[in-house]
Amino acid sequence: MSKQATIAIIGLGRMGANMARRLQRGGMQVVGFNRSDAVTQTLAKETGLTAASSLQDAVLQLSPKRLVWLMLPSGEPTENALQELTTRLAPGDVVIDGGNANYLDSQRRAQLLAQHQIGFIDAGTSGGVWGLENGYCLMVGGEQRDVAQLEPVLKLLAPAPDRGWAHVGPVGAGHFTKMIHNGIEYGMMQAYAEGFALLKGKTEFNLDLAQISELWRHSSVVRSWLLDLTAGFLKQDQKLEAIAPFVADSGEGRWTVDESIRQGTSTPVLALALYMRFASQDKEGYGNRLLAMMRNAFGGHLVKDKTGD
**Residues with catalytic roles:** 178, 185
User: Max Cα separation, the chain?
Assistant: 83
Interatomic CA distance for residues 58 and 244, integer angstroms:
40
Interatomic CA distance for residues 20 and 157, integer angstroms:
9
| DSSP code of residue 124 | E
Whole-angstrom CA distances from 253 to 130, 137, 222, 257 are 21, 18, 22, 6
Which residues fall within 8 angstroms of residue 280, CB to CB, at 6 or more apart? 245, 246, 247
Interatomic CA distance for residues 279 and 247, integer angstroms:
9
- Asked if 42 contacts 31 with a C-beta cutoff of 8 angstroms, the reply is no
Interatomic CA distance for residues 201 and 196, integer angstroms:
8
Q: Is 88 left (phi over 0), alpha (psi -120 to 50) or beta?
A: alpha
